[in-house]
Structure 1
Amino acid sequence: MLRIVADLGNSRLKWGRLDAACNVVESATLPLNDPRSWASTWSSWNPSNDPARWYISSVNPPVAEVLGNSLTSFGRMELRWFRSAAEVPVKHALEHPQITGADRALAVSAAVAQNPDPPGIIVSCGTAITVERVDETGTWQGGAIAPGLGLAARALHLQTAQLPLVVPREAPPAWGASTLPALEAGIFWGVVGAVRELLTHQAASFKSLPWLVWTGGDAATLAPAITWPSSSVVPDLVLQGLARIMASDDLKG
């Protein structure tokens, strides 16, 4: 049986294929609302039409329904959904885990497993940016949610009459002599500034400097802009969090 993990967000769908030890050995980033591309990718991954077990994180209920119907039409599928933090085995102090995103919990779970000496902070860079705080006991205390690069860019474009859509893909100068570079500067360094402030304030009460893990589609773009002594970029933390749960379930039989 094939083992597959999937991260369904607000901007993209990411799949990961696991080996027998539940390590992610292949991944694919797919568009939302495009069952044809899903079917094509699945055919290339599974030409023999073997049965598969899927663990899926979703923060996008409308697309989740379409995805579920598509997957079951592919053949023999076992689907397990993770729709909130309450469904993820992670030590936390959240007030309402049942309405907190599963993707946040999965990223924290994987980061803590890879960095067992807390405290720590996890920055997930997707449609939204989340900055998650893990205290000295390894407890996820919650975090902060801010607009990501793409969301900030779309807000400026859609809520103004003349500003074009610009999404910076690398660090620009901090000012521009025309509208486009000025937008790039404001969007990029505004997001970086927000993350830097959140890191500073979340780390302030720790007795030691926390480790820092970046993840998500814009992690490689944003991480170099902030200097931190113990920092790493792990693009697929959510998939790795799902893989850990699947491995644990395998051991339970």
Structure 2
Amino acid sequence: MSVWLFDLGNTRLKCAPLQADGRPGPVLAVPHADADFEARLAQALPSQFDVAHLASVAPPALTVRVLQVLGRHCTRTTLARTQHALAGVRIAYAEPRRLGVDRFLGLLAMHAEGEGAALLVGVGTAITIDLLDATGTHHGGRIAPSPTLMREALHGRAPHLPLQGGHYTAFACDTDDALASGCEGAAIALVEQSLRDATTLVGHTPQLRVHGGGAAALLPHWPQARPAPDLVLRGLAVWARSETAVDA
């Protein structure tokens, strides 16, 4: 049976075939703001396959569009949803629907790897931070604007401030570098403080795993961090193996 995994975020759709070993295969990322998004997605997929598993944090209208494309290629689609407990993970949120499914799937993926406590950092439109201990207990998390979103917000209120450009430095000597240093520095400091708080809570320093489209710019600041670019898709594979996968 041929199965594909789909991670629909605020900026991009990432997809990959599910391999025989239960892990995602090569990942394709398509920005969904592009005018030819649906055509590019259709072209990238096999003409026919059996099952599509979709995780979406995008607006409902976009989710429906993607489901319609998938429906033309496969016989069954499922939509992942956050749950109180699954595959050994227990979330901290009293209302599961309030925890983004991408964060939930990241927790599933990390626990499935069995490498102990972890601080999961997602860098996309927002920065999300979640703490998972070795027993699979989620201790909650934090959400903040990503450096990109900070720049966009500043530009929106003060259009003379550039959207892009500049380099991180301790104390900048021009506006572009000051913006890059301030916005990246805010994200760096948030993660480092979260790591200290997590260490106090679980009694040792958890591993730091970073994923998302904006991860590459921040990873050099955390030598101990490990990139996890397909973390959500790996978690979706765990979810798909559960008995809770129902048709969308």
Is the TM-score greater than 0.5? Answer: yes
The alpha carbon displacement at 1:117 in A equals 4.3
- Preserved contact between residue 117 and residue 132 of structure 2 (Cα < 8 Å): yes
Q: Quick check: 1:159 aligned with 2:166?
A: no
CA 1:240–1:30: 2 relative to 1, 3 Å:
same
CA 1:37–1:139: 2 relative to 1, 3 Å:
same
Partners of 2:77 and 2:202 in 1: how far apart? 40
Q: Choose from 52, 55, 78 the match for 2:53.
A: 55
2:235 matched to which residue of 1?
241
Aligned residues: 241
The alpha carbon displacement at 1:93 in A equals 2.8
Specify the SS of the correspondent of 2:202. coil
Specify the SS of the correspondent of 1:208. coil
2:32 matched to which residue of 1?
32
RMSD value, Cα: 2.3
Q: TM-score, normalised by structure 1?
A: 0.85
- Preserved contact between residue 35 and residue 67 of structure 1 (Cα < 8 Å): no
Percent identity, aligned pairs only, is 30
The alpha carbon displacement at 1:55 in A equals 0.8
- Preserved contact between residue 153 and residue 167 of structure 1 (Cα < 8 Å): no
Q: After TM superposition, what 4+ stretches of structure 1 lie above 4 angstroms from structure 2?
A: 85-89
* Letter matched to residue 236 of structure 2: L
1:108 matched to which residue of 2?
107
Q: Choose from 166, 173, 176 the match for 2:172.
A: 176
The alpha carbon displacement at 1:158 in A equals 0.8
* Letter matched to residue 10 of structure 1: N
Cα shift readout 1:8-44 (whole Å, capped 9, x = no counterpart): 1111111112223332122111112557333334334
* Letter matched to residue 187 of structure 2: V
Specify the SS of the correspondent of 2:208. strand
1:196 matched to which residue of 2?
192
TM alignment of 1:1-253, pairs within 5 A? 1-34=1-34, 36-46=36-46, 49-60=47-58, 61-72=60-71, 74-86=72-84, 89=87, 90-114=89-113, 116-166=114-164, 172-228=168-224, 231-248=225-242
Partners of 1:9 and 1:201 in 2: how far apart? 28
Partners of 1:167 and 1:53 in 2: how far apart? 42
* Letter matched to residue 92 of structure 1: I
Structure 2 gaps of 5+ residues are 244-248
Specify the SS of the correspondent of 1:204. helix
2:246 matched to which residue of 1?
none
User: Using CA pairs below 8 Å that are at least 6 residues apart, which structure has the higher relative contact order?
Assistant: 2
The alpha carbon displacement at 1:86 in A equals 5.0
